[in-house]
A and B are shown apart, each in its own frame.
Chain A
Amino acid sequence: MEILYCPWDPAVNIFFSSNVPLLIHYSHFIAIFSALAMALLIFMSNPRLLVSRLYLIFALLFSTWALLDVSLWATNDPALVMFSWSIQVLLEPLIYAIAFYLFYLYLYRRPPSLKANITVTALLLPLILLLPTIYDLQDVHLSTCEATEGPLAKYYTYFLNLFFVALLIWFGKKRIPQLEVGKRKIAVLFGAGLLTFLLSFTSGNIISSFTDNWVISQYGLFGMPIFAFLIAYSVVRFEAFQIKVVSAKILVVILWASVGSLLFIDASLLNVTIGLTLVFTTVAGYLLVRSVTQEFRQRQQLERLTAELEHANDRLKELDKMKSEFVSIASHQLRSPLTSIRGYASMLSEGSFGKLPAQAQEAVDRIKEASRLMSLSVEDYLNVSRIQSGNMKYELSDFNLRDMVMKIVADMRTEATHNGLSLTFNDTLGEVEGLTHADIGKTNQILHNLIDNAMKYTPKGSISVLVSALPEKRILRVDVKDTGVGMKPGTIEKLFEKFRRADNANGVNVSGTGLGLYIARKMAQDMKGDVTAFSRGEGTGSTFTLTLPLVA
């Protein structure tokens, strides 16, 4: 049997022939290139995101459709016309279906329900199954190399396309008002981008199907790069990618494609194509300039804010220094009169001025106790002031920490027993002597503070003090473990800030400046050690640990 061909030269490399209207290559290849480039950019930005993958499939199907379209224009072989046309008929509703899934996923961040999937499958099945039959394409006309569409191609595909568009609009209208305000605008942009893409994609085809003028359908494709850009842009915005970087890449890709494609254009159409390129360049250029301007403004704003912050910081430092000086002066001024008050109260209490009546004796004892507490507070303030101004002096020497702890525990045991608490000492040093290199007075103060705190915050139960060593880390540690009120995990770090006390402290111990642990940690840190705390929660007791360098 003789094989019949349409009356023009066969296609060269599938896509080129004298029968192809000159604008076709320009409209199709730019659309394919921009859709694929953007989908790939999005995909590579986050390959695991379902939206990225689906957008890539969407772009691939669209590109296949557009390539088949060019081959349809170029070929003079009726067999290729029948094949390419059939696949196009199949691809169109698939592209619509994926556009719907893409939008649904974008809006709901999960795939549609099983029921929706079954419906979509059921709707697509007749098209898939009847594709090779005459219900799809009936015959091909030799004079034009155009097929006569059957009911499937002429009506059913357009019904499917409209159905998916309707679904897209319906879900958009339902879901967009529920989104956060910031995301609403982007979702509308995404939906509008998709819809315009789909409408410009097939509105021409629908018109052509009924008018038999297939040139019209090509103009819709010119809008494709812009819609592809809109969709890509909104995916990027919605998924919070590095917007500016990806957008700039996308814009450059579009410009590159537009200018590059000029090389393939026939001279007679140069003005049209240059005009179109100019439109792309204007849009892309405007967006790029706007982005750079925004960036510049933000940087200016940032620089201004940094300068303001720097100024505020200097002022704060100055104020802090003034405050420290004030505390230091005030404390010094307080210390001298306090020494007199304590001295004379002591003399009165001990009967140096004769025996006092019982009531007066009680009053003097109260004055003595109150002035003792006050002098401790003043000492704390002075210590803080010294730490902050860097004037704390340390006299470092080697001494036995184990012996010191044992002595302090023995000294404080009477007071603990008096309060109904058991205070015990233990060590697991083994062959380690327990020698450390630190300031004896300051270490003594820290240990007193930790044990004293344990006693204050333990209404009943026991306090155990354990000295141990971590020879491999050259550390000596003293754990003061109590069965007291304990702390929430969140409050532990706050304890070491100035004037901070645990939330439940006031219920147990009303006195205290909230400076003890701050000072203890600072002093320990200055001696190359630390003070840390641990508690499983309120009511479970706490452990405070002092670490100091191990010498031997």
Chain B
Amino acid sequence: MQQLAKDSTHNNWSQFLLAVVTVLTVSSIIVTFYNTMVLRNFVVVDDLDEAVAE
């Protein structure tokens, strides 16, 4: 019985962790998407001329 109760507490905490990781991951993906695809907030190294020269 005690073991069962312990297992079930572990399960609850594990599920909570999984939920936290999922929420954070999805948020992070959304922020990354907004940052790159919408705001285009990144550095573009214009090395086209160098590439042509090479």
Interface string of A145-171 (1 = CB under 8 A from B): 000100000000000000000000000
| A246 interface residue (CB < 8 Å to B) | no
Q: Is the CB of B14 within 8 A of A117?
A: yes
- A7, A83, A113, A138: the one contacting B36 at CB < 8 Å is A83
Q: Is the CB of B32 within 8 A of A86?
A: yes
Which residues from 1 to 15 on chain A have a C-beta closer than 8 Å to any C-beta of chain B? 3-4, 7
A142–B51 CA distance with the chains assembled, in angstroms: 9
Smallest beta-carbon distance A309→chain B, Å: 48
Smallest beta-carbon distance A68→chain B, Å: 12
Residues of chain B contacted by A407 (CB below 8 angstroms): none
Partner-A contacts on B (CB < 8 A): 10-11, 13-14, 17-18, 20-21, 24-25, 28-29, 31-33, 35-37, 40, 42-48, 50-51
9-residue interface stretch from A122-130, A179-187, A249-257, A536-544: A122-130
Q: Is the CB of A121 within 8 A of B21?
A: yes
Residues of chain A contacted by B20 (CB below 8 angstroms): 121
Q: Is the CB of B13 within 8 A of A124?
A: no
Smallest beta-carbon distance A307→chain B, Å: 53
Given A94-B25, A117-B17, A128-B25; 12 other pairs, CB 8 A cutoff: A7-B51, A78-B40, A78-B44, A114-B14, A117-B18, A131-B29, A131-B31, A132-B32, A132-B35, A138-B43, A142-B48, A148-B45
Which residue of chain B lies nearest to A97 when distances are taken between CB atoms in the complex? B21
Residues of chain A contacted by B29 (CB below 8 angstroms): 87, 90, 131
9 chain-A/chain-B pairs, Cβ below 8 angstroms: A79-B42, A82-B42, A83-B32, A117-B18, A124-B21, A128-B25, A128-B28, A131-B28, A144-B51
Knowing A118-B17, A121-B20, A124-B21, say if A137 contacts B42 (CB, 8 Å).
yes
- B28, B35, B47: the one contacting A142 at CB < 8 Å is B47
| A189 interface residue (CB < 8 Å to B) | no
Knowing A128-B28, A131-B32, A143-B51, say if A79 contacts B21 (CB, 8 Å).
no
| A111 interface residue (CB < 8 Å to B) | yes
Q: Is the CB of A141 within 8 A of B47?
A: yes
Residues of chain B contacted by A138 (CB below 8 angstroms): 43
